[in-house]
Structure 1
Amino acid sequence: MALGKVSVNNLNLSQGAVTEVERYFLFIGAGPKSQGQVIALNTDSDLDVMLGIPASDLKTQVTAARLNGGDRWACLAIPLVAEKTWQDALTTALEQNYSFEAIVICAPVSSGDELGDMHEAAIGLSNTYGRRAFVMASSAGIQAGMSWSQYLAAQKAITEGLAAPRVLCVPQLHGNDLGVLAGRLATAEVSIADSPMRVATGAVLGLGPVPVDAEGVPLTLAVRAELDKSRFSVTQTYADYEGVYWGDGNMLDTPGSDFRVIEYLRIVDKAARRVRPLLIRRVGDRRLNSSANSMASNKTFLMTPLRAMAKSTTFAGQVFPGEIETPADDAIVLNWTSKTAIEVYISVRPLNCPKDLTANIALDLSIAE
């Protein structure tokens, strides 16, 4: 004999959104006010109130970032006291459970070892917290009494022989280049898959004065081209085209790497952030098993964030592409290595993007009928 029973359970199918950290940067630099505190800033913030009235490198870079970051710009900032380091500030932010896409360190570096330390910190974030971030560092601009030749030699020595794939370095040629690039990367006007080189985004805003060397020679495109070859990220101009723009966001990676420019790293990091919580929800879940139906359904399940990243929009006859190409059926492969361990291989394909354009013009001397 038995009594009837009815139960209704809520099933969580893991279809909700993941908290977005893209375009949210942590700025660390010396400042006279709120030292050691994590300060949340946006376009409405009074920087004199939040960061202090006196000029500081932190406030200079944050001001430039806000100007270039658009109407949805927001960031975190930690003003440092003299005896504290950026490592101390990063630890503070992590202890308070803040998440961010990039760490912007305002104090200029003078050696490759410092950049290597920053890369190790970014790797440590992934190893310890499962969080992915890149570091935006800077080097000093040209100093009084220096020629451009001497400046180039000093800068090249910083990045020579260095492998730091999660770090990019910006020479402070105009005094606020780092903040300008940080804002350009954080603007919601464009995708994280867009290069900072994108001219359609518009010219950079609020860039400091053009530097000159000891002989009064202003910064040239040739100097910037040499810095770019040494993997620095620099501004650029186009002859007979108004405005100052940006070149590639160069990562300090090795030749032949897939992640030598920032936009490739950002889309892979975003995909990883979206896939990770889905994998966590599958721990100990027998819905993921080696049967054909399970393998097919879980490939579809794990492909959900990729399809969202690939979604494009058509407006006024123009297609605004997604962040990646639409994933093919073989973009995800599941491989069981034991009864309890599975490896997932995911392919993320960026769209083609023109950075070197050439037009060939021919003269047509045929006689029209």
Structure 2
Amino acid sequence: IRTIPVDGLHELADYGVKLTFPEGEFVAGTTYTCRLLPPAPSIVDVLDALESPLALYDVEFVHIVGPSDSVDWMAAQAKADELWNQQRPTYFKLEARLPFDGEDLNAYVAALLAERQGVAGRFVTVCCQYGEIVDTAGASRLRNAGGLQSGRVMAIPVQRATGRVKDGPISQLTLPDGWEAVQPTLESNGFQTAKKYAGLEGAYWGDSRTLAEDTSDFRYEEVLRTVFKAVRLTRIAALKSMYDEAGDPLRPDSESGLAYLKANLENALDAMTTAGELASYVVEIPSGQDIVNNGVAVEITLVGIPIIREIKLYNRYTYAGSNFDPRIERYSVAA
């Protein structure tokens, strides 16, 4: 029990919130409720704050918490391009806003689709999934599920899809009413969403899409993660050959610098194939290069692990021993 101060101001220090009670009569026992929106710093402030940590650490991705829009998505893509050109592949994970008060699900989806128009970001993901999420204290709050998606990403190898049903449902998340009707549209437009399967309990992640165009090789997060890891490993392996002697091109059987370069690249990718992150790879150094003036060009083909994104079951019913029993032919052939 607290007494309202004379000035009507009361600070909730644990939440960073100040309450203002206007003049009037307040009846004891009355409950007043409100929903607090998360803070929304500008993308300029966020990227400025990231300068120091990104200069010190080579990270796989950056998760920016809080509501974002197309301006934020494009700014994140520009920063990702900058890091890519610096040989530090990094992608960004952002969150869509929550529905406004009084905004129904259809209006919310329409707003997101309008925001998505004309935006392409191959190194950016946007999670628009929200719902009631149970925190570590057991409290259920309406929030974006981007943190849960990031946690799943960090818990699985790079080639694995976050929606793999075998890994189990999203235990802390309850989907909003009517979500199943709009989820396919949001997913097909490049947003990260969750969905339900008939016969299974709980919600599961859908396709882990990026904002890349549908024709891009980077439209799925698992492909992005696999390529980025291979780029990092091969770059470090290639650096061991910087300023090394290339060897005599007329003696290809010699243990030249080019052979050492290729062996190091293959050793780096062998680690990924052994871990099941790649199916295979091909490293080729084309002959006849002007190494003195142009350096060495190495062509690397990464053979990825296919993901089962759709299963079609065709069930047919027949009676045992009938002419349509598929076992009859096998038994007669065996005889």
Shorter-chain TM range is 0.7 to 0.9
What TM-score comes out, normalization by structure 1 length? 0.68
Change (3 A) 1:99 1:205: farther
Which residue matches 2:167? 201
Once the two structures are superposed, the pairs formed by residues 99-118 of structure 1 within 5 Å of their partners are 99-110=58-69, 112-118=70-76
One-letter amino acid of the counterpart of residue 238, structure 1: Y
Number of the residue aligned with 1:319: none
Give 1:339 shift. 2.9
Paired with 2:43 and 2:111, the residues of 1 have a C-alpha distance of 27
How far apart, CA to CA, are the structure 1 residues paired with 2:43 and 2:106? 34
The residue that corresponds to 2:118 in the other structure is 161
Change in Cα spacing, 1:298 to 1:93, as seen in structure 2 (3 Å) is closer
Cα distance in structure 2, aligned partners of 1:83 and 1:103: 13
Aligned counterparts of 1:289 and 1:53: Cα–Cα separation in 2: 70
Query: In the alignment, which residue of structure 2 is the partner of 1:298?
Result: 261
2:98–2:144: 8 Å Cα contact kept in structure 1? no
SS at 1:205's partner residue?
A: coil
* Aligned pairs, number: 272
When structure 1 is superposed on structure 2, of 177-186 and 83-92 the one drifting more is 83-92
Q: Distance in 2 between matches of 1:133 and 1:142?
A: 29
How far residue 172 of structure 1 moved from its aligned partner, in angstroms, is 4.7
Aligned counterparts of 1:138 and 1:81: Cα–Cα separation in 2: 13
Structure 1 residues 343 and 238: alpha-carbon distance in aligned structure 2, compared to 1, 3 A threshold:
same
Q: 1:193 touches 1:324 (CA, 8 Å); kept in 2?
A: yes
1:146 aligned counterpart, secondary structure: coil
- CA distance in 2 between partners of 1:359 and 1:162 (Å): 36
Match of 2:290 in 1: 338
Three-state SS of the structure 1 residue aligned to 2:201 is strand
Note the 1:240-251 alignment, pairs <5 A: 240-251=199-210
Q: Percent identity?
A: 25
Taking a change above 3 Å as real, the CA distance of residues 132 and 193 of structure 1, as seen in their structure-2 partners, is: same
1:264 is matched with which residue?
A: 223
Taking the TM superposition and a 5 Å limit, the aligned residue runs for 1:24-173 are: 53-54=14-15, 85-95=45-55, 97-110=56-69, 112-128=70-86, 130-173=87-130
Task: Give, in whole Å, the separation in 2 of the partners of 1:268 and 1:366.
Answer: 51
CA pair 114-242 structure 1, distance change in 2 beyond 3 A = same
For 1:192, which of 137, 158, 178 is the aligned residue? Answer: 158
Partners of 1:94 and 1:135 in 2: how far apart?
Answer: 12
CA deviation map 1:42-83 (0-9, x unaligned): xxxxxxxxxx95389xxxxxxxxxxxxxxxxxxxxxx99899
- Name which structure has the greater RCO, CA cutoff 8 Å, separation 6+: 1
Q: Show structure 1 runs of 4+ deviating over 6 A.
A: 79-84
Residue 331 (structure 2) pairs with residue 347 (structure 1): no
**SS state of the match for residue 265, structure 2?**
helix
- State the Cα RMSD in Å: 2.5
CA contact (8 A) 2:95 2:144 kept: no
- Structure 1: which 5+ residue stretches go unaligned? 1-51, 57-78, 212-217, 313-321
Q: Aligned to 1:359, what secondary structure does the other structure show? A: coil
Q: 1:311·1:326 contact (CA, 8 Å) conserved in 2?
A: no
Q: State the one-letter code of the partner of 2:85.
A: N
**Could you tell me how far apart the structure 2 residues matched to 1:147 and 1:117 are?**
29
Inter-partner Cα distance in structure 1 for 2:195 and 2:51: 35
Deviation string, structure 1 residues 312-344 (Cα, Å, up to 9, x no partner):
5xxxxxxxxx011133xxx11113541321111
Does the CA contact (< 8 Å) of 1:288 and 1:298 recur in 2?
no
Matched residues in 2 for 1:83 and 1:226: separation?
27
> Deviation per CA, 1:174-230, whole angstroms, max 9, x where unpaired?
21311010001001xx311100111111111322x543xxxxxx1321211111121
Query: For residues 260 and 78 of structure 2, what CA distance do their matches in structure 1 show?
Result: 37
Q: State the Cα distance separating 1:151 from its structure 2 match.
A: 1.0
Deviation sequence 1:257-303 (CA, Å, 0-9, x none): 11100000111110110011121121110156634233455323211
Query: In 2, Cα distance between the equivalents of 1:53 and 1:100?
Result: 31
Aligned partners of 2:237 and 2:268 also within 8 Å:
no
Cα 1:81–1:326 change in 2 (3 A) is: closer
Q: Is the contact made by 1:109 and 1:139 (CA closer than 8 Å) also made in structure 2?
A: yes
Given the superposition, is the C-alpha separation of residues 306 and 365 from structure 1 closer, same or farther in structure 2, using an over 3 Å criterion?
A: same
> Are the equivalent residues in 2 in contact too, given 1:142–1:173 (CA < 8 A)?
no
Q: 2:312 aligns with which of 358, 362, 366?
A: 358
Whole-angstrom distance in 1 between the partners of 2:246 and 2:171 = 52
- 2:271 aligned residue: 308
Relative distance call for 1:196 and 1:55 in structure 2 (3 A) is farther
Closer, same or farther: CA 94–351 of 1 in aligned 2, 3 Å? closer
CA distance 1:53–1:309, change in 2 (3 Å): farther
Q: Secondary structure at the match of 1:88?
A: helix
Change (3 A) 1:120 1:153: same
* Kept in 1: contact 2:175–2:203 (CA 8 A): no
Gaps of 5+ in 2: 1-12, 18-38, 132-142, 323-327, 329-335
